[in-house]
Amino acid sequence: PLTDTKLAETLETILKASPTAIGIDIYRNFSVPPGTKRFHKLLVDNPNIIVVEKHPTATTPGVPPPEVLAGTNNRKRVGFADIALDSGGIVRRNLMFNQNGDMVGFSFALRLALKYLASKNIYPQENKPNPALLRLGHVVFYPLTGDEGGYANMDMGGYQIILDYIGGIKPFPHFSFGDLWDGHIDTALLKDQIIILGGHSESVKDQFHAPHAILGYDQGEITGSTYHAHAVRQFLEAAFNGRNPIAVWNVWTEYLWIFLWTGCGLLIGWFAISSWILILFTAISSILLITACIFAFTIGFWIPLVPTLLGWNAAMALGTVLRSSEQRHEQQLLMGLFEKHSSPKVARTIWKHRDEVLEDGRICPKVLMATMVFSDLQGFTKISESMPPKQFLDWLNRYLGAMTDVIMKHDGVLDDYAGDGIKANFGVPIENVAPEQVSLNARKAVDCAFELGQELNRLNRESKAVDFPIVGMRIGVHTGSVVVGTVGSKQRMKYTTVGSNVNLAARLESLREVPGPDPHDETNSFRILVSAATAKLLGDNYHVTSQGSFHLKGIQG
């Protein structure tokens, strides 16, 4: 440590420059001869010198001031150097007063500030209606209560406020003792200033972290003397410029703030249109939040940034994950109903327009304008009875597979198999009542019916080659409004169309009054009956022959 002689020489040099106050941030509860008397005399003779002490705690005995200033008559010359630390050794609080036995101790920084203010004829004023609060000028220092955000339920012993790092982390001129002793300092710079003498070495454990430590270890490290200088400046700014201490929300307001940001982040993540938009929005919003919190801090308001930022981004990520999970569920539901019964093109269209199909995660029933195609084989019973089971099922699956490919080729949705019977829908499940779209769906259905017949001819030729029986096909096509939706149980559910118009298409397929197909004549191996409603939608490119009017069983009108 510095000898008393060296410390005395330092004080004498500084005193010649006429500073307003000198603070010795060095514990001097013991003598370091030689020069002890000389040092003590300087302390006694110069009332603008303030020394430090450390208050005792439950685990440490404390450090008293130099013995010549230890009496009660010199209390205004002594301030405690105790610092209230947050987790991680970060200094965010300015401890102004602290209980020391039966006495209330003033902080080292507050003693220096009051000494300086007194030289300007500025003194603490009585605060009404609560005289227990310190007031400098128009600024009242309200102590932390333990109900403020990160300090909820913490020990708020003494009189503490949030420390304001005005001007950045290290805005004060720093000089070494060596520069002073060697005459490298212009002592005129010290006139009317507050000078703080402190130690800064590995042997003197007097280093702490400012909140700036989150930017990097070195950028955030300060000495105890720098901390005291910041605390002094905070008092002077309040007295001279009316700068209020940093305001802090109570814990419930902070919870509400974080909850609102988290909730908004969850909603944005859920409703985000695309990942790229979400990423861009996240980056911009995070920058804006950080900027807003920094700006608020510069004007004296502390808004919790880190938990808000974490909650905001985590909630958006969670919202995205939940929405993706919901979309996967919806996709599984839709694709489970449509993927095996429609072409990839139709399946993609259904997924693109899923909001029109789904409601609260379920297929919503609705009335649509659709064209239904029913087909059935003539001679199927003969085949089923004349072929061994394995050969029969192989033949049936080959037939159904070929017909399904044709239906999907024309953007139809396969509704059902019933033995050899097939039901397909055109114009579902996406609602489009535009006349041109309804006509297009009808033409697709009729084109599909023609190709079903042509595919049957191909299969019949293959059957003839291996001496299998051949069959004819009856097809019924009708356009009208139908109810669409899912039927069945949770274990087995299917998407289908129901209603009188569906029955009409089925009745057309099975109509006996019109001559049926002749499987031995490829030009007449399939029969297509379309309703008048469908025929009106086909246009001039289709040759339609009227077969007359018939009364269909179960159909009125």
Question: Where along the chain do its domains lie?
Answer: 4-248, 251-333, 367-538
Q: How far apart are CA 205 and CA 16, in angstroms?
A: 31
Residues 511-538 have a mean pLDDT of: 94
User: Is a pLDDT exceeding 60 seen at residue 119?
Assistant: yes
Class level of CATH domain 367-538: alpha beta
3-state secondary structure 433-478: CCHHHHHHHHHHHHHHHHHHHHHHHHHHHHHHHCCCCCCEEEEEEE
- pLDDT score at 103: 86
CA 254 to chain centre: 18
For residue 362, pLDDT over 70 is answered with: no
414, β-bridge pairs: 424
The percentage of residues in the chain with a pLDDT greater than 70, rounded to a whole number, is 92
Residue 65 CB-density burial (10 A; 0-12 exposed, 13-18 middle, 19+ buried): buried
CB 56 within 8 A of CB 64: no
Decide if 41 contacts 69 (C-beta within 8 A).
Answer: no
C-alpha closest to that of 497 among 441, 553, 435, 434: 441
Amino acid at 242: G
pTM above 0.85, yes or no: no
Side chain identity at residue 216, one-letter code: G
Distance between CA 341 and CA 432 in Å, rounded?
A: 20
Q: Residue 171: is the preceding peptide bond cis (ω within 30°)? A: no
Segment 123-176, tens digit of pLDDT:
999 888 899 999 999 999 999 888 776 776 676 788 999 999 888 888 999 999
The predicted-structure confidence for 526-542, as pLDDT tens digits, reads as follows 999 999 999 999 998 99
Task: Give how far the C-alpha of residue 381 lies from the chain's centroid of Cα atoms, to the nearest Å.
Answer: 63
**d(Cα 191, Cα 185) in Å, to the nearest integer?**
12
160 vs 181: CA distance, rounded Å: 37
The total number of residues shown for the chain amounts to 557
Tens-place pLDDT, residues 292-320: 988 887 777 888 888 999 999 999 999 98
